[in-house]
A = this chain, B = another copy of it.
């Protein structure tokens, strides 16, 4: 597995915008994020720049404007985060994790049923 750059919480918000809208330029990113956050455009530009430095984003110039594309894919980033979360907090044991969510009572009956369905169609081999 690749070594993904470390992406901070604020930077992750930027990544989400780029993943969803790439190719996307600075103005478009700041346009979206100034509406969903309290960040100033300057702050957002700093975050974008850091992501470029970290190798999470690449850009090409469209005249004066930079247009960004992700270098880190959302899927692989999510996978890495999920993996490390599971390891860190549940020793890598998914059953322990699920039990914890159940115990915390954050899951509605609907959600539980939904999980059942998912697992039932996640054919683990032959038997149905």
Contact = CB atoms under 8 A, between A and B. Distances in A.
28 contacts: A9-B88, A12-B88, A78-B89, A79-B104, A81-B85, A82-B89, A82-B97, A82-B100, A82-B104, A82-B106, A83-B104, A83-B106, A86-B106, A94-B107, A94-B111, A94-B114, A95-B114, A95-B115, A95-B118, A98-B115, A109-B124, A109-B125, A112-B122, A113-B124, A115-B115, A115-B119, A116-B116, A119-B119
The majority secondary structure among interface residues of chain A is helix
Nearest to A102: B122
A122 B115 CA distance: 11
B111 A95 contact: yes
Interface in A58-94: 78-79, 81-83, 85-86, 88-89, 94
